Structure formats: structure tokens, C-alpha cells
A and B are shown apart, each in its own frame.
Chain A
Amino acid sequence: MNTSMSTKGSPRDRVTGTPFTRGLGILVLAGMALLIVLGLFVSPADVNQGESVRIMYAHVPGAWLAYLAFIVTAVSSAAYLWNRTRSLTWDRIAGASAEVGVLFMGISLITGSLWGRITWGTYWTWDARLTTTAFLFVTYIGYLAVRGLGGTHQQRARRSAVLALLAVLEIPLVHFSVELWNTLHQEASVAGRGTNVDMDGLMLFTLFLGVVVFTLMYVWLVLHRQRSLTLDDMLDDSGLDNALTARRAEGMKR
């Protein structure tokens, strides 16, 4: 290939790690080990829920990080639309963050369902919190599908950016659903409005650690995914180069 691409190395030879992400990855692993020790062994069982309270240390950080991820997607999408340059970097950050957000939301839904079975006596019920969360989850799966609809990179970016700015409006609805309506799901224990936190100190600390570890994991995942999406796009573009080279070769034969 004698194009500008080949001077920068083939996408296939690139890696997505840097010294920074490697350091961050080690930090995430260490934090996760600490979270497991605190969450599963050191922190106390709950007076009502017993051992199942430990599910909270994955469930709550999962939900919060999903919110954060979807907000980052919206902000990056806005940055893409507002900047004259229409930089695809913003678009790829938005896409990477949404993917990781769907992953975390999935973790939160699965852990919540298991906790519900143990505590409520049912895996699922259609109360306002669970229903709005399901809607949010489905919306962002749709967002990822829209990203895969094809067209040029810029078409993909424009389409999905508009959708991301609409979808993020669901987050306040999900968060405040427990205050707006009667729900089986309990109200916010830590991030509620004007609540004094009614939680054992060590439980609260473990939950806080969970949020920190999940946040670091989110950053690590998004950095890698954003870079691999960049390589995907480069590969697409190099496919275009190949097509052009083939056309040229055809032209030579005639």
C-alpha cells in the first residue's frame, strides 16, 4: 500500500495499551481484589438482608457508572456536533462509553435481579424503577445498533450523536422514579435528596470503594475501547485504499 496510511503502520500491528493504561489496569486489579475482600469478608452482614447485602457493592456502582457512562456519551456527542472540526474522536469516545455503560447497566440488572429474588421474593417486577431502568437499557442497545447501521463515519457520528442527546434525558426519570412513584425498589440511600445516610460505616466505606474501583475500571475500558474503535475506523479506511489500488491496477491492464 503506498498511501499515507502505510507510513503510520498498519492498524493490525497497533496495540491499545500505553504505560498509563497498563498502570491503571494494575490499579483496577488491586482495587478489585480489595473490594472483594472487603465486600465478601470484612464488611458485616445486614440485620434484615443477611449476606445478600453484599450484592449492593456491585449493584449500586454498576448503576451509577452506567449513568456516568451515558452522560459522557451525551457530552462527547455534543462536543462532536458543536465543534466545527467534527472530530471523530469525540464520536468514538461516545460510542466506547455507551458500550461500557450498557455493560455496567447489565451488571446492575443481573445483580439486582438476584438480590430481588433473595430479598423481595421475586426476580423481577414492573415497578417504576425497574421499568424505567429496563427502558434505559433497551434504549442504549438501540443506540449501539444505530451506530452499526453503516454509512460513512461522519454519517454514523451525526446520527448517533443526536440519539445520544435524546436518550440521556431518560436518566433523571430513572433516578427519581423512586421518588415520583410508589415503587417496590427502595429509595436512594446515599444519593437521595436531603437524606441522612442510614448505613453502617463499614458498609458505606465498601460501597464507596466499589464506586471508585468501578470508575477506574470504566476509564480503563473506555480508553481501550476508544482506541480499538479508532483502529476499526482505520481498517475501514484502509479497505477503501485497497479498493482504490485495485481500481488502479484494473486501469493499468486496459
Chain B
Amino acid sequence: MSHHLNDDDIGTSADSLDLSPRAVTPRQQRKRRPWPAIIVLVLVVAAGGIVLTKFLTSAIDYYCNVNEIGAKSGCEAGHRLRVQGVVDKGSVENDGVTTKFDMSFGGVTIPVTYDGEPGGIFKECIPVVVHGILADGVFLGDRVEVKHSNEYKAANPNRVKNEGSTSEGTACSQ
């Protein structure tokens, strides 16, 4: 690979002509302003500003755990919260319009009402983050996100069969 393209290489075969234009950087003479790059940079700075704002207002402490409501700063009831807890076993009720379930974390349980059917892989005994407002002891959710653990198990039908026998209470096995 010949990457030794020093400026000195160019014009070595020049005769006695005056080559004074070389004093000016020819690239700048030849090239127009790099508008595409400038436009991209402006967009990048704007997008970076939005992302940074989101980081400061949303990303740090994305959620409060159920037992942190009213106990940790930023987790006061009365303003919008994102609350994480595990959906209690046997607590999910859905009448086609509203979904009701209990969620617990650290020994504290709150009832949740959500207008609609939660998406994702929502089911009982799975951790969820609910966005909404706590009113009269009930958490009125308007967005439910299912938090996936970092476990990866093969869906082995033989293994799933074993679970049903021991689990009658509200406690989740995991």
C-alpha cells in the first residue's frame, strides 16, 4: 500500500515553471463548503441535547421499587411515578377493558389498575415497571413495561409440568 502521499511527491517532475499557487492549500480552493457534514453536525448536536435532557430527567433512577414509595426521595406519592414490582400470583383480573393486579416488592404490595391489556410478555410472577399516579392507595397506571430478568432457559415442556403442584399461595416461586 502506498500511503506516502506527501505533498512533496506531487510535482517532482515539474520543470522550471513557477508553481507559486502551491503556497495556498489547494484543497480549500477547490472544495466547496462541506454542507452535508455541517448539517449532520447540527442535527447531532440537537439530538445530543435531547438525549442529554432525557438522561437527566428520566434515565437516572428510572423507577422506584414498591417499598420505596414515600420512603426514598423522588419516590413521593402525589406526582407521576414509575414503580417496579413483581406481579402477584393469581392477582391478575381483566374484564376486557381494565386490567387489575397487585404488585409487590420488598414485602410491600400495591394494587394496580391499568386501562387496557399490558403488552410484552406480561404475566403473573414477572417484574414490571408501571408508569402512573398513586391515588387513594391504588396505583393508576397508564403504561406497563415488562422487565426481563437476565435468565435464559430453554422452554422445555417437560420441565414446566413440575411446577403446578407446589404453588397455591400468592408467593411466586422465584
- Listed stretches A1-9, A23-31, A213-221; interface member: A1-9
Centre residue among B17, B22, B25, B59 by max chain A CB count within 10 A = B59
* Least Cβ–Cβ distance between A160 and chain B, in angstroms: 11
15 A-B contact pairs sorted by A residue (CB < 8 Å): A3-B11, A4-B12, A5-B9, A118-B120, A122-B120, A131-B54, A145-B44, A148-B36, A149-B34, A151-B27, A151-B28, A186-B149, A187-B150, A198-B152, A251-B18
Nearest Cβ in chain B — how far from A157, in angstroms? 12
Counting CB contacts under 8 A, is B78 at the interface? no
B-binding residues in A (CB < 8 A) = 2-5, 8, 44-50, 53, 56, 87-89, 92, 117-122, 125-128, 130-132, 134-135, 138-139, 141-142, 144-152, 177, 181-184, 186-189, 192, 195, 198-200, 202-204, 227, 230, 233-234, 236-237, 239-241, 243-244, 247-248, 251
Contact A119 B51 (CB under 8 A): no
Could you tell me the distance in whole angstroms from the C-beta of A161 to the nearest C-beta in chain B? 16
B161 at the binding interface (Cβ < 8 Å): no
**Known A-B contacts A126-B59, A181-B60; A3 and B44 likewise in contact (beta carbons under 8 Å):** no
Contact status A121-B41, CB under 8 Å: no
Q: Are the C-beta atoms of A46 and B154 separated by less than 8 Å?
A: yes
Q: Which of B86-94, B95-103, B140-148, B164-172 contacts A (4 or more CB under 8 A)?
A: B140-148
Instruction: From B10, B52, B63, B144, give the contact of A240 (CB < 8 A).
Output: B10
Which residues of chain A have C-beta atoms less than 8 A from B28's C-beta?
150-151
- Chain B 40-63 near chain A by CB (<8 Å), digits 1 or 0: 110011011001101100111111
Choice from A4, A125, A138, A142 contacting B9 with Cβ under 8 Å = A4
**B residues near A5, Cβ cutoff 8 Å:** 5, 9-10
Known: A149-B37, A184-B62. A135 touches B150 (CB 8 A): no
